[in-house]
Amino acid sequence: AQTVTQSQPEMSVQEAETVTLSCTYDTSESDYYLFWYKQPPSRQMILVIRQEAYKQQNATENRFSVNFQKAAKSFSLKISDSQLGDAAMYFCAYTPGGSQGNLIFGKGTKLSVKP
């Protein structure tokens, strides 16, 4: 079965510092996609970053970057220069290639940002 595991229920970071959120996944597929979603207190899920498994280069979106280790099935999110607005639940998600709806989510990591 395909699973996504986030081993850190909660994390805390000082404003302007860097934090890394962990995610591991289990799959036998060779073609798949990985995502990080942010869920602020307003509850609306927002896509942060996306990684295609066939791309070796790690995805980057402004202050957000990933460390994709395909062999280790690891997909961590690094947030640089943390801001108060980064405080939220962060969900790692996986979908196999060709899927139209099967987005599998981890349980999430609650990130707090201290001023």
Please report, as ranges, the residues that interact with another protein according to CB under 8 A: 4, 33, 35, 42-47, 50, 91, 93, 95, 97-108
Least separation in angstroms between residue 87's CB and another protein is 18
Give whichever of 83 and 97 is closer to another protein, judged by the CB atom. 97
Give whichever of 4 and 13 is closer to another protein, judged by the CB atom. 4
- Candidates 33, 9, 28, 31; CA nearest to 104 is 33
Give whichever of 15 and 26 is closer to another protein, judged by the CB atom. 26
Least separation in angstroms between residue 115's CB and another protein is 27
For residue 22, give Cα distances in angstroms to 7, 26, 42, 66, 90. 7, 14, 23, 10, 10
Least separation in angstroms between residue 8's CB and another protein is 13
What is the rounded CA–CA span in Å between residue 80 and residue 14? 11
Beta bridge partners of 38: 46, 90
